Amino acid sequence: MSTESRIRCPKLRQRIMSAEDAAALIPSGVNVGMSGFTGAGYPKAVPGALAEHIRAARARDENFRISVWTGASTAPELDGALAEVDGIQMRLPYQSDPLCRQKINDGQMEYMDIHLSHVAQHAWSGFYGKLDIAVIEVVGVTEDGRLIPSSSVGNNKTWIDQADKVILEVNQGQSAGLEGMHDIYYGTALPPRRKPIPLTRPEERFGEKYLMCPPEKVIAVVETNAPDRNSRFSPPDENSQRIANHLLEFFAHEVEAKRLPPELLPLQSGVGNIANAVMAGLNEGPFNNLTAFTEVLQDGMLAMLKSGKLAKASATAFSLSPEANEELAKNIDFYRDRIVLRAQEISNHPEVIRRLGVIALNGMIEADIYGNVNSTHVMASRIMNGIGGSGDFARNGYLSVFMTPSTAKDGSISTIVPMVSHVDHTEHDVQIVVTEQGLADLRGLPPRQRALNIIENCAHPDFRPQLRDYFERACNSKRGMHTPHLLDEALSWHHRYETCGHM
């Protein structure tokens, strides 16, 4: 495809330059809002070129750092490249890059881990300071300068609105057929001027197909031709399959009890292999005419759309393997009729999630016997990725499900512990815990019954006697019978792992 067909606005064609020249327009010390969500739709060329500028500045003994705000995780070309040259002062609101993770945990990079639905409104309110520059990947530009969004929307609308200057990357590698798939709502506001979000079904559209950006804000246009990160999923392993089976059985039971309709309720599915296995299970399962109101659309949901099991899906981003991405591009007209991509302040909006009655399915690091969940930290202090959208969906969903294998690191860690070493989702926000061992339905249960249910259904048999022993002794201690704990032992499992290599 030619430059003219992708960048149809003559005014913006005049701003075309190399990634190196565009990166040179980003000075040290600024806040930069970049596109990108779960490895989709992130800028492919400017961050790398900026990293080279930073490397050169470091060689001259100059300190050069920027703060990077995104939708969610990006890819090695962005987070990895900038982290490698120590170019990031502060990162928000979510990352999953190994190098970033290391720098954050070594104390060399600041990180703010934020509910994804909160980020835009925090930025509008100025909580993070002034946004100086936005670097946004788009599929193209219309004749009148409207921007065709790419494979993720994330916070792009907010970054473009809030930034003084905008750098666009126009990626020929993204399917031109994405045009028309997006729904960008410009009706959000800060209190007290807020209006209800007019969405009552996942597939409803009430916004624009394009991102709006005054052409005078655009200081550079960079042409790229590169794929998204497009990570492969491993085929579902035995544990993931068992978790998926427990969930499917539970859904069937809920339909029978008339607590769920036969087509279930809109599904939200977290990222990763377990989530993908659950979708694969649903694709084979008895439920039809399903819908999704989620933030990320992975291979599993694409396959369900293709098979017809899933009728419609709303998300803010794709996160596809190379094969699934090819399938999407090949049959883009089919998928455009069935998928809506929205800004993350809408895809994760608590009001909408509550109204639709979303079934929230998310992974976790560990849960404790009372059902508090840690999604983000290893052994209390080391960040893994971040809370992402799990809190938006867990607190506001109709059903809030957390899933994990019952052990980690070859069986040396129990993911069911007396007390979580970090809390992301409190016991009040967690209704169902699932491991390959079984499913604990905590709805309507007071704390001590929750504990017995989680220990007996979810813990690995190797750790179950230890957990029973802890719980019984905590109850016998008579310190307080509502949520019994032994204060000197509650976190001893984590301490034991750090000192002995085994819980």
C-alpha distances in Å from residue 401, one per residue of 42, 268, 269, 405, 429: 30, 10, 10, 14, 9
- Shortest Å distance, C-beta 262 to ligand COA: 26
- 385 binds ligand COA per the rule CB under 6 A: yes
The terminus-to-terminus CA distance of the chain in angstroms comes to 57
CB of 98 to ligand COA, least distance (A): 9
> Are 237 and 330 within 8 A, CB to CB?
no
In the complex, the smallest distance separating the C-beta of residue 378 from ligand COA, rounded to whole angstroms, is 4
Lookup result for tokens 């705000």: 69
Q: Which of 24, 57, 112, 384 binds ligand COA (CB under 6 A)?
A: 384
Q: Which of 274, 305, 317, 419 binds ligand COA (CB under 6 A)?
A: 274
Nearest to ligand COA of 46, 378 (CB atom):
378
Question: 213, 247, 280, 413: which one contacts ligand COA (CB under 6 A)?
Answer: 413
DSSP alpha helix (H) spans, 7-45 = 10-13, 19-23
Is residue 362 involved in binding ligand COA (CB under 6 A)? yes
Pick from 366, 429, 436, 441: which binds ligand COA (CB under 6 A)? 366
Q: Least CB distance from residue 144 to ligand COA, whole Å?
A: 34
Q: For residue 267, state whether it binds ligand COA (rule: CB under 6 A).
A: no
Q: Does 95 bind ligand COA (CB under 6 A)?
A: no
Give the residue with the Cβ less far from ligand COA, 32 or 243: 243
- From the candidates 169, 295, 345, 436, which is the catalytic residue? 295
What span, in angstroms and rounded, lies between the C-alpha atoms of 466 and 370? 15
Residues 280 to 319: which contact ligand COA by CB under 6 A? Answer: 295-296
Enumerate the H helices of 337-389 as residue ranges.
344-347, 350-356
Task: Output the smallest distance, CB 243 to ligand COA, in A.
Answer: 10
Dihedral, CA atoms, 393, 399, 402, 405, nearest 10 degrees? -140
Q: Which of 364, 432, 439, 451 binds ligand COA (CB under 6 A)?
A: 364
The minimum distance between CB 423 and ligand COA, in angstroms, equals: 13
| Shorter beta-carbon distance to ligand COA: residue 409 or 496 | 409
Angle at 135 between CA 185 and CA 88, to 5 degrees: 120
Residue nearest to ligand COA (CB): 363
Q: How many binding residues for ligand COA (CB under 6 A)?
A: 24
**Is residue 68 a contact point for ligand COA (CB under 6 A)?**
no
Say if residues 6 and 172 touch (Cβ distance below 8 Å): yes
Question: Closest separation between CB of residue 229 and ligand COA, Å?
Answer: 15
User: Sign of the C-alpha dihedral, residues 210, 212, 214, 220?
Assistant: negative
Judged by CB, which is closer to ligand COA: 171, or 400? 400
The answer to the question of residue 390 lying near ligand COA (CB under 6 A) is yes
- HSE-CB of 241 using CA atoms within 13 angstroms: 6
Q: At what angle do helices 447-458 and 464-476 cross, to 10 degrees?
A: 160
Asked if residue 375 binds ligand COA (CB under 6 A), the reply is yes
Q: Is 207 helix (H, G, I), strand (E, B) or coil?
A: coil
Q: Is 39 in the site for ligand COA (CB under 6 A)?
A: no
As to burial, measured by CB atoms within 10 angstroms (0-12 exposed, 13-18 middle, 19+ buried), residue 63 is exposed
Distance in Å, CB of 482 to ligand COA, minimum: 26
Out of 271, 303, 332, 419, name the contact with ligand COA by CB under 6 A: 271
Nearest to 292 by CA among 307, 309, 277, 280: 309
Phi, psi for 176 (deg, rounded to 5): -65, -20
Q: Is 277 in the site for ligand COA (CB under 6 A)?
A: no
The token duo for 210 is 């394009």
Q: Which is nearer to ligand COA, 353 or 413 (CB)?
A: 413
Annotated catalytic, 295? yes
Half-sphere exposure at residue 78, Cβ-oriented, CA atoms within 13 angstroms: 30
Q: Which residues are known catalytic residues? A: 295
Which residues here bind ligand COA, judged by CB under 6 A? 270-272, 274, 295-296, 362-366, 375, 378, 384-385, 387-390, 405, 408-409, 413, 415
